[in-house]
């Protein structure tokens, strides 16, 4: 029985009863509100929000909402004094309009979060327009019949429907899409939520002189633009709705700069401003969201690229690292076998203890190397934290050690003690050092005898004390003449085995750390790369 | 024997060097361990006895170059190379150039000890051989010119009467010289004498 009851509840139309109820409540409240804006003749409200509400709910919850929407429409029209037949047609017209608009939007790649210009345009030019057309044609026919007034009534209905859509469907679309209850705002959001309707009330309801209120009404544009740039689209849509609601309502009641010569004329002027306000906010918010999405994609792309670069570097370093792990293993192996012989001979005491101690320290050394390697390859978001640059450099050089020895390159390390920290991602700065040193080693590969191969790594505090300078220099053939900036372009690489991304990745990382990267040739030696990283301003240590 | 036989170990990795020294010492071998090829070259001489255990990848000089430098200084102790990952081609070349063996790290202790004992035995045998050869060369110096002429003809396998005819002396005289040669060269018979003499530097070419 309980199962049956549950099944019954899930059956249409019991499912989503909250959505049905919410929509009905909004529908009725807004319809009552719109009555204040109804013209004497023809009896058409200048804003008809019901269609916008239906479109958003039907799009979000599905077509079955259109049926209850139509029922609410019939109820509302009946209460407003329409004949039963008229009420029936008008209600059905609202449902059909919402269904058609939602159907069209679903056929496109419309995104209800309105985070692309495309979404805003689709909503207004496809969904809202189709919905408004259907609603207006049927509404016009009911109100005016096939008389000479049909075009006028049709035009007014179309305008009222479209305005309702413009101010209501964006806010409902974006807010219904939010995860339940997630309408948290930062203080700035709350301030805007008070400020924008506040300005609207001041302009439209305080009865200030026309000379002041007309210019003041335009003050809402910068407020809304600011919100569009800083706040999520749903808040922008909500602000638009509140401002438009205040402005339209007050104008209909005869307040504000647009209330001059009768409701029809006043509200038409008001509509123009509201429409521009809404479009400005929605398009700007979408533009901002698009730019943010592009930036995120670029950042993700860079992070993938950097990881590919690390994998690439690691493949070159792999032989050296294998050797580096093998050494302690070899030592551990020898001690263990010596210890076994001692135990077999029943020897013990100090020598056995020493062997065991050395086994422990050898395994620690090996696992250190493994941890370092894994740390270099891990795929973590590059969090910026205060870091000791010198420590990062030493870690990276430890990774490069075997390769330097194999290539018989001397390391000239000159790290200034007691440097302040830099705000950085450790894993990314590792990569900068690895890439630059690897480049230097490879540049010298053939052109210098082993005694002449060196790589210099130097850190210094800048003269002003506000930055750390890292220099990586070598004794190779130096940089080719020509445009130094081209060095850091993708695919510049001159080495046949390189990916051409090494220096490009270095530059991107340095940029992301608000640093500067320069390259030149040292007199009497090879290339030199300078990196300047701003310090965090935390206290010096050591 | 000039010196006690030792194992000369060169590895630039402190842990590995300590570990291998520890293992060998715990087996009662005398070990001299060095971190660099130069330190080894400063410590060994042609009369050093024992064997060499060398890492093929060393700072400043690879295993092959060190092998060449040792040979150039007259150090002929057997060499066992130990190799890390990926140095196999170099180890193969080293063996082709005369190294006794190469072991890949980490190695089995028994294998290393076996190879070291084999190398020490080979070095001792070579040193014995050298000592014998030096002895024969010293004895050759004591031959008179006539005895040397007889001895050289004996090397050619000539009969007493042919030697007598060639030197224009009596067969009896040849027999006396022949006995003196065998006595001076400490040989029981002529074939033992021939083998000893042919092992010396001066008469090696007579083999051809």
Q: Over range A244-268, report the average pLDDT.
A: 85
Sign of the dihedral defined by the CA atoms of residues A89, A91, A92, A96, in that order: positive
- Window A:363-402, CB contacts with B under 8 Å: 365
Q: Considering only A34-43, A186-195, A510-519, which range has the smallest mean pLDDT?
A: A34-43
Instruction: Find out whether A420 and A537 touch, Cβ atoms under 8 Å.
Output: yes
Using CB atoms, which residue from B18, B59, B105 is nearest to A326? Answer: B105
How far is the C-alpha of A426 from the C-alpha of A431, rounded, in Å?
9
Match 């189709």 to its residue by tokens.
A130
Nearest one of A260, A147, A169, A261 to A214, comparing CA atoms:
A260
Match 């057997």 to its residue by tokens.
B78
Domains of chain B: 6-130 (3.40.50.2300), 142-207 (1.10.10.10)
3-state secondary structure of A538: coil
Q: Over range A22-41, report the average pLDDT.
A: 85
Instruction: Find out whether A497 and A511 touch, Cβ atoms under 8 Å.
Output: no
How much is the mean pLDDT over chain A?
Answer: 83
3-state secondary structure of A385: strand
- Would the CB atoms of A335 and B108 count as touching at under 8 Å? no
pLDDT tens sequence across A479-510: 877 766 677 766 555 555 555 667 878 888 88
Which residue in A321, A323, A324, A327 has the most chain B C-beta atoms within 10 A of its own C-beta, making it the best mutation to test that interface? A327
Instruction: Find out whether B63 and B54 touch, Cβ atoms under 8 Å.
Output: yes
Which of the residue ranges A146-150, A268-272, B50-54 has the most confident prediction, judged by mean pLDDT?
Answer: B50-54
Q: How many CB atoms are located within 10 Å of the residue A447 CB?
A: 13
- The predicted structure's pLDDT at residue A540: 47
- Would the CB atoms of B106 and A358 count as touching at under 8 Å? no
- Window B:95-154, CB contacts with A under 8 Å: 105-109
CA distance A492 to chain B (A): 32
- The predicted structure's pLDDT at residue A491: 54
Chain A environment of B16 (Cβ under 8 Å): 327, 330-331, 334
- The predicted structure's pLDDT at residue A541: 44
pLDDT of residue A316 exceeding 90: no
pLDDT band at A542 (very low <50, low <70, confident <90, very high): very low
- The predicted structure's pLDDT at residue B115: 92
The tokens for A396 are: 């990276």
> For residue A312, what are the contacts with CB-CB under 8 A and spacing of at least 6?
A499, A501
The backbone region for A38, taken as left when phi is positive above 0, alpha when psi lies in -120 to 50, beta otherwise, is beta
Alpha helix (H) residue ranges in A218-262: 220-230, 233-252
Using CB atoms, which residue from A334, A405, A406 is nearest to B19? Answer: A334
CA distance B69 to chain A (A): 18
- The predicted structure's pLDDT at residue A470: 93
- Would the CB atoms of B109 and A342 count as touching at under 8 Å? no
Starting at the edge strand found earlier in the chain, the sheet holding B31-34 runs B31-34, B6-10, B50-55, B79-83, B101-104
Chain A environment of B22 (Cβ under 8 Å): 334-335, 338, 351, 354-355, 358
pLDDT of residue A539 exceeding 50: no
Match 């504000």 to its residue by tokens.
A256
- Main-chain phi, psi angles of A471, to 5 degrees: -120, 130
Nearest one of A226, A232, A164 to A195, comparing CA atoms:
A226
Q: Which residue has the higher pLDDT, A147 or B52?
A: B52
Match 């705000």 to its residue by tokens.
A423
Distance from the Cα of residue B80 to its chain's centroid: 15
- The predicted structure's pLDDT at residue A494: 56
pLDDT of residue A144 exceeding 50: yes
- Window B:41-80, CB contacts with A under 8 Å: 57, 59-60
Which residue in B19, B65, B108, B109 has the most chain A C-beta atoms within 10 A of its own C-beta, making it the best mutation to test that interface? B19
∠ CA(A506), CA(A512), CA(A513), 5° rounding?
90
Chain A environment of B59 (Cβ under 8 Å): 405, 408
Using CB atoms, which residue from A335, A351, A405 is nearest to B19? Answer: A335
Instruction: Find out whether A338 and B22 touch, Cβ atoms under 8 Å.
Output: yes
Q: Over range A100-128, report the average pLDDT.
A: 90
Nearest one of A252, A255, A249 to A265, comparing CA atoms:
A252
- Main-chain phi, psi angles of A424, to 5 degrees: -155, 165
- DSSP for B21-45, please give it: HHHHHHTT--EEEESSHHHHHHH--
- Would the CB atoms of B23 and A330 count as touching at under 8 Å? no
pLDDT tens sequence across A346-388: 887 888 898 999 999 999 988 888 887 777 666 555 677 888 8
Chain B environment of A451 (Cβ under 8 Å): none
Which residue in A319, A336, A338 has the most chain B C-beta atoms within 10 A of its own C-beta, making it the best mutation to test that interface? A338
- Cα–Cα distance list, A333 to A207, A359, B105 (Å): 93, 8, 9
pLDDT of residue A295 exceeding 80: yes
Q: Count A/B contacts: CB-CB distance under 8 Å.
A: 78
The tokens for B130 are: 């050298």
- The predicted structure's pLDDT at residue A122: 92
- Would the CB atoms of B23 and A406 count as touching at under 8 Å? no
pLDDT tens sequence across A163-217: 999 999 999 999 888 877 677 888 999 999 999 999 999 988 887 888 888 888 8
Q: Over range B160-182, report the average pLDDT.
A: 91
Instruction: Find out whether A313 and A396 touch, Cβ atoms under 8 Å.
Output: no
Q: Which residue of A has its CA nearest to B103?
A: A330
Let me know how many helices (H) and strands (E) chain A has, helices first: 17, 7
Nearest one of A466, A464, A403 to A433, comparing CA atoms:
A403
Which residue intervals of chain A bear CATH 3.30.565.10?
380-542
- Would the CB atoms of A332 and B60 count as touching at under 8 Å? no
Task: Sort strands A454-461 and A410-415 into parallel, antiparallel or unpaired.
Answer: parallel
Chain B environment of A328 (Cβ under 8 Å): 15
Name B31's bridge partners.
Answer: B7
pLDDT of residue A390 exceeding 60: yes
How much is the mean pLDDT over chain B?
Answer: 86
- Would the CB atoms of B20 and A334 count as touching at under 8 Å? yes
> For residue A143, what are the contacts with CB-CB under 8 A and spacing of at least 6?
A42, A43, A44, A153, A157
Which residue in A317, A329, A333, A347 has the most chain B C-beta atoms within 10 A of its own C-beta, making it the best mutation to test that interface? A333
Which of the residue ranges A300-309, A358-367, B52-61 has the most confident prediction, judged by mean pLDDT?
Answer: A358-367
Match 């690292």 to its residue by tokens.
A321
How far is the C-alpha of B82 from the C-alpha of A322, rounded, in Å?
16
- The predicted structure's pLDDT at residue A489: 67
Chain A environment of B107 (Cβ under 8 Å): 330, 333
> For residue A92, what are the contacts with CB-CB under 8 A and spacing of at least 6?
A70, A73, A74, A138
Q: Over range A69-78, report the average pLDDT.
A: 87
Q: Which residue of A has its CA nearest to B110?
A: A337
Q: Is B18 on the interface with A (CB under 8 A)?
A: yes
pLDDT band at B196 (very low <50, low <70, confident <90, very high): confident
Which of the residue ranges A37-41, A149-153, B94-98 has the most confident prediction, judged by mean pLDDT?
Answer: A149-153
How far is the C-alpha of B21 from the C-alpha of A355, rounded, in Å?
11
Q: How many CB atoms are located within 10 Å of the residue A314 CB?
A: 15
Q: Which residue has the higher pLDDT, A312 or A363?
A: A363
Q: Is A408 on the interface with B (CB under 8 A)?
A: yes
Q: Which residue of A has its CA nearest to B18?
A: A331
How far is the C-alpha of A268 from the C-alpha of A90, rounded, in Å?
24
Is the complex ipTM higher than 0.95? no
Name B10's bridge partners.
Answer: B34, B54
Q: How many CB atoms are located within 10 Å of the residue A414 CB?
A: 10
Nearest one of A323, A349, A423 to A382, comparing CA atoms:
A423
Q: Is A353 on the interface with B (CB under 8 A)?
A: no
∠ CA(B28), CA(B33), CA(B37), 5° rounding?
145
- DSSP for A285-316, please give it: HHHHHHHHHHHHHHHHHHHHHHHHHHHHHHHH
- Would the CB atoms of A334 and B59 count as touching at under 8 Å? no
pLDDT of residue A14 exceeding 70: no
How far is the C-alpha of A393 from the C-alpha of A468, rounded, in Å?
13
Chain B environment of A323 (Cβ under 8 Å): 57, 84-86
Q: Considering only A497-511, B37-51, B189-203, which range has the smallest mean pLDDT?
A: A497-511
Say how many residues make up chain A.
542
- Would the CB atoms of B15 and A351 count as touching at under 8 Å? no
Nearest one of A400, A403, A336 to A363, comparing CA atoms:
A336
- Multiple choice CATH, A380-542, 3.30.565.10, 1.10.3720.10, 3.40.640.10, 3.40.50.300: 3.30.565.10
The tokens for A490 are: 């993708």
Q: Over range A511-524, report the average pLDDT.
A: 85
- Would the CB atoms of B84 and A330 count as touching at under 8 Å? yes
Q: Over range A61-83, report the average pLDDT.
A: 86
How far is the C-alpha of B193 from the C-alpha of A352, rounded, in Å?
55
Using CB atoms, which residue from A319, A329, A406 is nearest to B106? Answer: A329
Chain B environment of A332 (Cβ under 8 Å): 19, 106
Which residue in A334, A339, A340 has the most chain B C-beta atoms within 10 A of its own C-beta, making it the best mutation to test that interface? A334
The tokens for A422 are: 């830099």
pLDDT band at A5 (very low <50, low <70, confident <90, very high): low
Instruction: Find out whether B17 and B55 touch, Cβ atoms under 8 Å.
Output: no
How far is the C-alpha of B119 from the C-alpha of A482, rounded, in Å?
61
- The predicted structure's pLDDT at residue A385: 81
User: What is the percentage of chain A residues whose pLDDT exceeds 70?
Assistant: 90
């Amino acid at each position: 029985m309980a199962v049956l009851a549950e099944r019954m509840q899930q059956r249409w139309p019991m499912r989503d009863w909250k959505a049905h109820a919410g929509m009905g409540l909004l529908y009725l409240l807004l319809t009552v509100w719109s009555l204040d804006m109804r013209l004497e003749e023809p009896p058409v409200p200048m804003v008809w929000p019901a269609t916008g509400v239906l479109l958003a709910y039907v799009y979000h919850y599905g077509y079955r909402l259109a049926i209850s929407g139509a029922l609410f429409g019939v109820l509302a029209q009946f209460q407003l004094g329409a004949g039963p037949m008229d009420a029936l047609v008008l209600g059905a017209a609202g449902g059909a309009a919402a269904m058609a608009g939602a159907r069209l939007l679903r056929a496109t790649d419309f995104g209800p979060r309105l985070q692309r210009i495309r979404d805003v345009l689709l909503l207004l030019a496809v969904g809202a327009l189709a919905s408004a057309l259907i609603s207006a044609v049927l509404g016009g026919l009911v109100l005016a019949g096939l008389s000479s007034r049909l075009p006028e009534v049709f035009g007014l209905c179309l305008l009222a429907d479209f305005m309702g859509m413009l101010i209501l469907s964006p806010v409902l679309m974006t807010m219904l899409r939010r995860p339940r209850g997630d309408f948290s705002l930062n203080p700035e959001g709350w301030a805007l939520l008070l400020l924008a309707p506040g300005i609207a009330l001041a302009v439209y309801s305080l009865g200030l002189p026309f000379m002041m209120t007309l210019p003041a009404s335009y003050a809402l544009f910068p407020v809304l633009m600011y919100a569009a740039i800083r706040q999520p689209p749903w808040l922008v849509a909500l602000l638009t709705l509140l401002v438009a609601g205040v402005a339209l309502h007050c104008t209909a009641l005869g307040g504000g700069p647009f209330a001059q010569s009768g409701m029809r004329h006043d509200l038409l002027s008001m509509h123009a401003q509201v429409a521009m306000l809404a479009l400005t906010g929605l398009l700007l918010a979408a533009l901002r969201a698009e730019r943010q999405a592009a930036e995120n994609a670029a950042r993700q792309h860079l992070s993938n690229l950097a990881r590919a670069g690390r994998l690439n570097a690691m493949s070159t370093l792999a032989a050296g690292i294998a050797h580096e792990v093998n050494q302690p293993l070899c030592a551990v192996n020898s001690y263990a076998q010596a210890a076994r012989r001692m135990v077999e001979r029943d020897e013990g005491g100090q020598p056995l203890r020493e062997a065991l101690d050395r086994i422990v320290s050898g395994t620690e050394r090996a696992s250190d190397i493994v941890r370092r390697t894994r740390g270099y390859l891990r795929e973590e978001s590059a969090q910026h934290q205060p870091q000791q640059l010198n420590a990062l450099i030493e870690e990276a050089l430890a990774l490069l050690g075997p390769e330097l020895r194999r290539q018989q390159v001397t390391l000239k390390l000159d790290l200034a003690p007691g440097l302040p920290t830099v705000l950085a991602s450790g894993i990314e700065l590792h990569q900068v050092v690895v890439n630059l040193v690897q480049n230097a080693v490879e540049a010298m590969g053939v052109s210098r005898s082993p005694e002449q191969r060196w790589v210099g790594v130097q850190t210094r505090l800048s003269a002003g004390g506000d930055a750390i300078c890292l220099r990586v220099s070598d004794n190779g053939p130096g940089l080719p003449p020509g445009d130094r900036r081209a060095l850091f372009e993708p695919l510049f690489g001159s080495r046949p085995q390189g990916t051409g991304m090494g220096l490009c990745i270095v530059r991107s990382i340095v940029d992301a750390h608000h640093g500067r990267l320069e390259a030149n040739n040292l007199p009497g030696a090879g290339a030199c790369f300078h990196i300047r990283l701003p310090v965090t301003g935390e206290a010096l240590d050591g | 024997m000039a010196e006690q036989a030792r194992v000369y170990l060169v590895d630039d990795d402190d842990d590995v060097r300590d570990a291998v020294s520890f293992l060998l010492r715990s087996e009662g071998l005398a070990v001299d361990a060095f971190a660099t090829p130069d330190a080894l070259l400063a410590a060994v001489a042609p009369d050093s006895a024992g064997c060499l255990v060398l890492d093929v990848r060393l700072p400043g000089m690879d295993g092959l170059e060190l092998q060449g430098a040792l040979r150039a200084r007259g150090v002929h102790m057997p060499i066992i190379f130990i190799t890390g990952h990926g140095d196999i081609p170099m180890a193969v070349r080293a063996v082709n150039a005369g190294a006794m063996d190469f072991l890949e790290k980490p190695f089995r202790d028994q294998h290393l000890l076996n190879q070291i004992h084999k190398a020490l035995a080979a070095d001792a045998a070579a040193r014995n051989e050298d000592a014998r050869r030096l002895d024969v060369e010293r004895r050759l110096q004591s031959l008179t010119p006539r005895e040397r002429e007889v001895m050289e003809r004996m090397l050619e396998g000539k009969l007493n009467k042919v030697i007598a005819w060639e030197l224009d002396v009596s067969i009896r005289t040849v027999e006396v010289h022949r006995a003196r040669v065998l006595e001076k060269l400490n040989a029981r018979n002529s074939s033992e004498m021939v083998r000893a003499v042919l092992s010396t530097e001066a008469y090696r070419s007579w083999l051809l």
